[in-house]
Amino acid sequence: MKVLVINSGSSSIKYQLLNMDNENVLAKGLVERIGIDGSRIVHKVNGEKNIIEDNIPDHEKGLKMVLDLLVSSDHGVLESLEEIDAVGHRVVHGGERFASSVRINKEVLDTIELMSFLAPLHNPANVMGIKASMELLPNAEQVGVFDTSFHQTMPQTSYLYAIPYEYYEKYKVRRYGFHGTSHRYVAKRTAEVLGKKPEDLKIITCHIGNGASVAAVKNGKSIDTSMGFTPLEGLAMGTRSGDLDPAIIEFICKEENITPKEMLNILNKKSGMLGVTKKYSDMRDIEDNAIEGEKVSRMAFDIYEYRIAKYIGAYAAAMNGVDAIVFTAGVGENSPIMREEIAERYLGYLGVKIDKEVNDFKGKEKIISTDDSKVKLMVVPTNEELMIARDTKEIVENNLNELK
């Protein structure tokens, strides 16, 4: 079975075509800068990279170009698009309606569209991707895999905010949590690497990239996570503030004469690392400049790692213990310094000991703690696309509407 995985962002589409008979990746790539100058596709087949620069005004055009590439004579891997049996879509916000992956029909699509007000940066792009794919691949099955699903196991103690209960009853204001597909994959892989059953483990997964969140996974289930009602809460991120005193919003609105909507846009797009440094949102820039001694970058780096350490401490308490702490995503997989500083500065009291020599690598799956460390410290590169493809295959093969 051939499955195309689509992860539509606000200005990008990440894609992977997999042969699910052996989980081989046939082609993968990224459409970036959709709707702005310099739009292009980076398309990879057999490790060979092809860059196609073109005007890509919207997601439909982007997806159409990807499909053309998949059957093209020079970079193609398919004879015909009819070979694609199913398309798996990443959907960021599934609210309380979707506790697992689901076959997409008109009703499901309408519900995802209704959920857009909860994830304005992400859901509208996901909807665009689904619509374009339904139109361009009418014979393929469409499946939605939600960032929120894995966290639907959280108890009320974790997901209720201490605000009037009627806001939950009336408007479903609660913690949802995101990056669930990644936390689920990483926790499952951690148990496999450690040769244990997920039911016997307390794991803290740190998905730290541009968007970033930490999750507490106890006995294979998410029991708490740092993102909340929207992907704005929790860690300090590339451009997102993470936790802050809500009173700041009204204060700044009054002082700067701006609306709450404008303020939220600032908290989502102009805060975090970008806000603190005034210039960089990418941790590579911040890390390089911090190493060279630039004070503001050193401070931003410290804030990013301190917030992660605080959540690790909180979740060790939430689970009354921890067996493994795992790093993943852009920063977690590729920044040995970030991992080393978090371990050395903040995790000693838990009996965590990092092996600095072993830790000196990027992008691999490895245990990075010493043999006598009380808690395993690990790096597990995430693979959201593989999880999406597996769910898609399961739903289509077994003719299910929803995974249980």
Ligand X SMILES: Nc1ncnc2c1ncn2[C@@H]1O[C@H](COP(=O)(O)OP(=O)(O)O)[C@@H](O)[C@H]1O
Contacts with ligand UVW by CB under 6 A lie at: 92, 122, 147, 178-179, 209-211, 231
What does 331 bind: ligand UVW, ligand X, none (CB cut-off 5 to 8 Å by kind)? ligand X
Residue 355, interface with ligand X (CB under 6 A)?
Answer: no
Q: What distance in Å separates the CA atoms of residue 238 and residue 370, rounded to the nearest whole number?
A: 31
**Rule CB under 6 A: which of 334-353 touch ligand X?**
334-335
Q: Is 196 annotated as a binding residue?
A: no
Please say which residue, 230 or 335, places its beta carbon nearer to ligand X. 335
Q: What distance in Å separates the CA atoms of residue 191 and residue 202, rounded to the nearest whole number?
A: 10
Please say which residue, 112 or 331, places its beta carbon nearer to ligand X. 331
Active-site residue among 21, 58, 68, 147? 147
Please say which residue, 225 or 289, places its beta carbon nearer to ligand UVW. 225
Q: What distance in Å separates the CA atoms of residue 4 and residue 1, rounded to the nearest whole number?
A: 10
Site string for ligand X, 272-311 (x = CB under 6 A): ----------xxx--x------------------------
Residue 372 bears catalytic tag: no
State the sign of the Cα–Cα–Cα–Cα dihedral 261, 264, 268, 273.
positive
Segment contacting ligand X by CB under 6 A, of 43-51, 86-94, 122-130, 328-336:
328-336
Using the CB atoms, write b or e for 361-399: b if 16+ within 10 Å: eeeebebbbeeebebbbbbbbbbbbbbbbbbbbebbeee
> What is the DSSP code (8-state) at residue 398?
T
What is the nearest approach in angstroms of ligand X to the Cβ of residue 173? 24
Three-state secondary structure readout of 39-67:
CEEEEEECCEEEEEECCCCCHHHHHHHHH
If we measure between CA atoms, which residue out of 296, 366, 287, 271 comes closest to residue 331?
Answer: 287
What is the nearest approach in angstroms of ligand UVW to the Cβ of residue 275? 16
> What is the DSSP code (8-state) at residue 354?
B
Q: Which residues are annotated as a binding site?
A: 7, 14, 90, 207-211, 282-284, 330-334, 384
Q: Which residues are annotated as a binding site for substrate?
A: 90
Q: Which residues bind ligand X (CB under 6 A)?
A: 209-211, 238, 282-284, 287, 329-331, 334-335
Q: Which residues are catalytic?
A: 147
